[in-house]
């Protein structure tokens, strides 16, 4: 008996890289040597019997044999209990089976999925998922819920049947229903047998995969109206009756002994198979697509503890540690790291709270100090008037500290306020700096005064020496009149000076001094110095707080500059990849600004729109050159890849706080009013107005720009197309504004990128599209491109060389010899026709444009070229370079 199957993690391949690999595989296969046909056996799970399996898959088999004649493909129907033996004995090379069987084979034998089945509904919907149906006869009123299955006769396909048992078993387990509660459980091995057993009353309920009842009804075997579906679900877009969760459809998988090249050839052939050739589960056709993600199947089998998760039924603690030791270790390390980070964050937050509390307390303390100093001065009768004025001055300076927004502004205002007192003549703030020449005193700010007095008080060597000593000793220092006896200071009549340290707190060292000069005969009062010292402490604390804030602001400004430089660098990178994108973003920004101003949007919104327009294609950085620079129309898959640039651009910009608003606008510039846009399919008013403006500007520039695969439209034609699409794709008001501001646009004087290669590097990138991979000559695609873009005006002569009998040569000597003959003939033409444009077309024909005069004089193409002795003939045809001749050439190329 075949063991129960389970899912291993599904492999979902990148669409773009898979198609690229498949394309390379086909190119390589086209030049391979002929080989004797070998037999390739495809095993298929026969759900409904061998005859139906053969009828179902015969169309696919014929298609493979027709497209890959070097192999003989045979179909091998297998029952559930035959698959394991057939694979172990290598009786099959590929296997088509249900999802759980595939993942078990993947784990046990290393099978790899190369494609996933999809079916087509009558409405044209492609369905690549399936589930299970739990049903009873409609006239059995005792069976209406899953709980009613207890004590009933139940029929299923097989215990390893995914759709015919396991999907339904999962739903039963979630409802707490065990199969042991059934009166009986019978496995009938085919879906048809289960459905007929319920219909005949041989079973009360049955389990089959989705689509079985519908298919049997079309075949006339039964009527769906005779059945009632238990726990029925109705999912949008899913056409079949359903009782369970949906899971990915059947895969086709290759076994390990099959080469990757054969698997790729088979996969590519399956992708191109007409849908009417395959009626698996659907009379409206079916086909093959890219492999799906089989993780949901994986989770089902783990939940049911089926193979390869059956060991979970007897799992011990030692087994758990052995299987998941690495994960347990990782979780433990992550937890420890998380706790450490959390502790660090709590510590930092605590410090911030303490500092914030201290800053708040400062305001309270300052007010309390002013009140306290005022009370003390009022009690001193002899010094009341003087100290009261000092208190007022200190209070004013404290108010300056509280209301100032900048460090130097606060210090300058404090010095000016001090010298406004009648007894103070000058005040300044000195800072000790260390330079390459040594330590020096620098004047930060000073109060008003004459230039002579300023120089004498702030540059006198003896005074600077006293200030430096006071800063280094971190002490308050008084200066007597003898220490500043400069003759320029005689008019100030100074009697004393005090140097007050400016500290961040009472325990830190000073790096600055507040220097205050008085002409009061008694000099400074002790209480006055105390007040000034405390005022200096407040100034020092505030000054260092401002310094910390300035450092934080500088760091924030640096961070913003780094973001802007990074984003601009990304934009520059895209512009260097694609010259069209560079000009396009600038023009879209220009058009969007014109339209926005016409609609009288606020200036801030206009500037935001201009920035968003400049960055709207930043997501194209992920688009490969093969798609971004493709000279022709994009395939649906390539178009889907191009559409990803919107989401990538949004995710890139929204990660930066300052660009989030721009990211939201850029995200919606491909949305359309009727919901046909992308990425979210928004409609009407759900699309922001700036995004609607950007959509019109973007489309207008795309229409009026020369692209490598189509010429540009005139301004009038482009505006007419916008008007035709107004109301469906574009906002009519935006289109009206665009018509007004863009109708007189002169495209000839506006930079228009041609998206053509203008350097050796770009020409090398475009060689991917225009060079023949075998001979190195130009290909037919480039010739068509030249004709479409009117580049034929440079043609002086045009002729074609038709090789005759080349197919017979290939048949006799093989593709390798044929390829070598084509390369040799192409090299001979390059030497013979130096300066001419040479193209390889139609496989074995060559077009020569602007050949030198008389290039065949004295030359016989059959005897003087590599064609000698090959039995390959050549016919030379000449075309005129007028419209009739060019039309004849284009007809030939078709």
241-276 pLDDT per residue, tens: 999 999 999 999 999 999 999 999 999 999 998 888
Topology (CATH level 3) of domain 771-893? Alpha-Beta Plaits (3.30.70)
507 vs 152: which has the higher pLDDT = 152
The pLDDT, as a whole number, for residue 720 is: 92
Task: Assess whether the region 578-749 and the region 771-893 belong to the same CATH fold.
Answer: no
On average, the pLDDT of the chain sits at: 83
Measured distance CA(109)–CA(688) in Å, rounded: 54
pLDDT interval class at 120 (50, 70, 90): confident
Q: In the prediction, which pLDDT does 753 show?
A: 42
- Compute the distance between CA of residue 662 and CA of residue 654 in angstroms, rounded to an integer: 8
Question: What pLDDT band is residue 374 in, cutting at 50, 70 and 90?
Answer: low
Reply yes or no on whether the pLDDT at 317 is more than 80. no
With beta carbons less than 8 A apart as the criterion, state whether 304 and 166 touch: yes
Q: Which CATH class is domain 15-126+249-314?
A: alpha beta
Domain boundaries, the chain: 15-126+249-314, 131-242, 402-550, 578-749, 771-893
**3-state DSSP assignment of residue 479:** strand
- Closest residue by Cα to residue 105 from 266, 296, 255, 302: 255
Give the angle subtended at the CA of 792 by the CAs of 788 and 797, to the nearest 5°.
140
Q: How far is CA 871 from the centre of its chain?
A: 56
User: Quick one: pLDDT band at residue 196, thresholds 50, 70, 90?
Assistant: very high
Question: Quick one: pLDDT at residue 404?
Answer: 85
Coil vs helix vs strand at 89: coil
Fold held by 402-550 = Beta-Lactamase (3.30.450)
pLDDT given at position 75: 94
CA angle centred on 571, ends 566 and 576, rounded to 5°: 120
pTM over the 0.85 mark: no
Which two three-digit tokens encode residue 372? 């306290």
Lowest pLDDT segment from 91-105, 495-509, 526-540, 782-796: 782-796
- Judge whether residue 719 has pLDDT over 70: yes
pLDDT beyond 60 at 288: yes
Q: At residue 4, does pLDDT exceed 50?
A: no
Say what the pLDDT of residue 613 is.
85
Summarised one tens digit per residue, pLDDT across range 583-638 is 788 888 899 999 999 999 999 999 889 888 888 888 887 777 777 666 667 788 88
Q: Among 214-223, 635-644, 791-800, which is the least confidently predicted range? A: 791-800
Summarize the confidence of residues 157-177 as an average pLDDT: 92
Q: Is the pLDDT of residue 199 over 50?
A: yes
CATH class, range 578-749: mainly alpha
Q: What percent of the chain stands above pLDDT 70?
A: 85
**Residue 96 confidence (pLDDT):** 94
For residues 687-710, give the mean pLDDT: 85
pLDDT at residue 29, rounded to an integer: 41
**Which CATH number is associated with domain 131-242?**
3.40.190.10
pLDDT tens sequence across 466-482: 888 888 888 898 888 77
Mean pLDDT of 420-431: 89
């Amino acid at each position: 008996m075949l063991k129960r199957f389970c899912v291993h993690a599904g492999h979902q391949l990148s669409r773009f890289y898979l198609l690229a690999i498949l394309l390379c595989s086909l190119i390589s296969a086209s030049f391979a040597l002929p080989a004797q046909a070998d037999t390739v056996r495809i095993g298929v799970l026969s759900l409904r019997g061998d005859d139906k399996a053969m009828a179902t898959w015969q169309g696919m088999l014929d298609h493979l044999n027709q497209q890959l004649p070097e192999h003989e493909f045979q179909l091998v129907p297998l029952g559930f209990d035959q698959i394991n033996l057939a694979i172990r004995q290598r009786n099959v090379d590929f296997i088509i089976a249900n999802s759980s069987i595939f993942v078990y084979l993947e784990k046990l034998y290393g099978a790899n999925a190369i494609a996933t089945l999809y079916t087509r509904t009558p409405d044209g919907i492609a369905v690549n998922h399936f589930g299970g149906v739990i049903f009873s006869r409609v006239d059995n009123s005792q069976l209406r819920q899953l709980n009613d299955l207890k004590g009933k006769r139940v029929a299923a396909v097989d215990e390893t049947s995914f759709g015919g048992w396991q999907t339904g078993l999962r739903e039963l387990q979630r409802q707490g229903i065990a199969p042991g509660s059934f009166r009986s459980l019978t496995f009938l091995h085919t879906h048809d047998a289960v459905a007929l057993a319920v219909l005949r009353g041989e079973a009360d309920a049955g389990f089959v995969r989705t689509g079985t009842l519908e298919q049997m009804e079309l075949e006339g075997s039964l009527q769906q109206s005779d059945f009632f579906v238990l726990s029925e679900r109705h999912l949008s877009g899913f056409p079949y009756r359903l009782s369970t969760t949906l899971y990915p459809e059947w895969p086709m998988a290759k076994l390990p002994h099959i080469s990757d090249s054969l698997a790729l050839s088979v996969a590519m052939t399956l992708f191109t198979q007409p849908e009417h050739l395959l009626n698996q589960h659907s009379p409206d056709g079916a086909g093959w697509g890219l492999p799906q993600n089989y993780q949901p199947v994986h989770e089902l089998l783990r939940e049911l503890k089926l193979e390869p998760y059956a060991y979970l039924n007897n799992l011990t603690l030692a087994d758990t540690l052995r299987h998941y030791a690495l994960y347990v270790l990782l979780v433990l390390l992550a937890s420890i790291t998380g706790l450490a980070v959390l502790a660090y964050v709590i510590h930092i937050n605590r410090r911030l709270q303490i500092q914030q509390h201290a800053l708040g307390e400062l305001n309270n303390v300052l007010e309390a100090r002013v009140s306290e100093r005022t009370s003390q001065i009022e009690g001193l009768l002899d010094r009341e008037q003087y100290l009261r004025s000092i208190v007022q001055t200190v209070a004013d300076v404290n108010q300056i500290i509280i209301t100032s927004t900048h460090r130097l502004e606060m210090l300058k205002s404090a010095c000016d306020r001090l010298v406004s007192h009648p007894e103070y003549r000058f005040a300044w703030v000195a800072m000790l700096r260390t330079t390459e020449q040594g330590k020096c005193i620098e004047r930060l700010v000073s109060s008003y005064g004459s230039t002579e007095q300023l120089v004498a008080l702030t540059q006198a060597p003896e005074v600077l020496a006293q200030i430096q000593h006071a800063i280094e000793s971190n002490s308050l220092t008084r200066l007597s009149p003898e220490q500043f006896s400069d003759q320029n200071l005689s008019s100030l009549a100074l009697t004393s000076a005090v140097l007050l340290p400016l500290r961040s707190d009472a325990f830190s060292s000073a790096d600055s001094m507040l220097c205050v000069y008085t002409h009061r005969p008694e000099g400074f009062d002790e209480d006055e110095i105390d007040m000034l010292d405390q005022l200096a402490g407040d100034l020092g604390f505030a000054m260092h707080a401002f310094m910390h804030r300035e450092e934080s602001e500088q760091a924030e400004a640096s961070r913003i500059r780094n973001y802007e430089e990074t984003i601009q660098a990304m934009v520059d990178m895209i512009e260097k990849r694609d010259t069209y994108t560079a000009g396009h973003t600038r023009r879209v920004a220009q058009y969007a600004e014109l339209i926005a101003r016409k609609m009288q949007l606020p200036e801030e919104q206009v500037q935001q729109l201009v920035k968003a327009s400049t960055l709207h294609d930043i997501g194209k950085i992920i688009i490969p050159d093969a798609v971004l620079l493709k000279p022709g129309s994009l395939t649906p898959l390539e178009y889907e890849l191009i559409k990803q640039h919107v989401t990538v651009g949004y995710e890139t910009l929204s990660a930066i706080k300052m660009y989030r608003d721009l990211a939201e606008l850029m995200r919606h510039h491909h949305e359309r009013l009727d919901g046909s846009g992308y990425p979210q399919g928004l409609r009407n008013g759900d699309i922001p107005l700036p995004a609607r403006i950007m959509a019109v500007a973007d489309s207008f520039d795309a229409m009026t720009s020369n692209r490598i695969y189509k010429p540009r439209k005139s301004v009038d034609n482009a505006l007419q197309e916008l008007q035709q699409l107004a109301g469906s794709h574009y906002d009519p008001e935006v289109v009206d504004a665009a018509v007004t501001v863009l109708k007189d646009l002169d495209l000839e004087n506006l930079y228009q990128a041609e998206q053509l290669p203008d350097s050796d590097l770009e020409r090398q990138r475009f060689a991917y599209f225009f060079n023949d991979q075998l001979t190195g000559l130009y290909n037919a695609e480039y010739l068509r491109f030249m004709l479409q873009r009117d580049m034929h005006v440079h043609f002086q002569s045009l002729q074609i060389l038709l090789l005759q009998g080349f197919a017979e040569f290939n048949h006799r000597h093989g593709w390798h010899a044929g390829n070598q003959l084509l390369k040799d003939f192409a090299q001979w033409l390059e030497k013979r026709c130096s300066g001419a444009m040479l193209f390889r077309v139609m496989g074995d024909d060559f077009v020569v444009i602007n050949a030198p005069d008389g290039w065949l004089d004295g030359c016989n193409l059959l005897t003087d070229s590599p064609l000698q002795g090959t039995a390959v003939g050549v016919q030379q045809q000449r075309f005129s370079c007028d419209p009739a001749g060019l039309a004849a050439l284009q007809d030939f190329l078709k």
